[in-house]
């Protein structure tokens, strides 16, 4: 199924990609093929349809919007 992935922060700057994936494991595998993203992905958070998730087995549905979020620091 196709899902939209939005890469925020320095590695993507809001770039959108549409990929075929059933779960976040597959999304991670596909994105890790891009050597420019590999290290950045290790420290990024993930949101699906506006909700933060940590489980790579999280099932995806057609049309889900996945946002890869850079680490942030605040004060």
For residue range 5-57, what is the model confidence (pLDDT) as tens digits? 999 977 678 889 999 999 999 999 999 999 888 888 888 999 999 999 999 88
Global pTM? 0.85
Homologous superfamily of 2-69 in CATH? Beta-grasp domain (3.10.20.30)
In the 3-class helix/strand/coil scheme, how is the chain assigned residue by residue? CEEEEEECCCCCCCEEEEEECCEHHHHHHHHCCCCCCHHHHCCCEEEECCEEECCCCCECCCCCEEEEECCCCCC
pLDDT of residue 39: 85
């Amino acid at each position: 199924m196709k899902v939209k992935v939005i890469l925020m922060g320095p590695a993507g700057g809001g770039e959108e990609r549409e990929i075929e994936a059933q779960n976040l494991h597959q999304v991670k595998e596909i994105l890790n093929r891009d050597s420019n993203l590999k290290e950045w992905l290790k420290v990024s958070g993930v949101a699906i349809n506006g909700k933060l998730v940590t489980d790579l087995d999280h099932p995806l549905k057609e049309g889900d919007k996945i946002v890869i979020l850079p680490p942030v620091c605040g004060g």
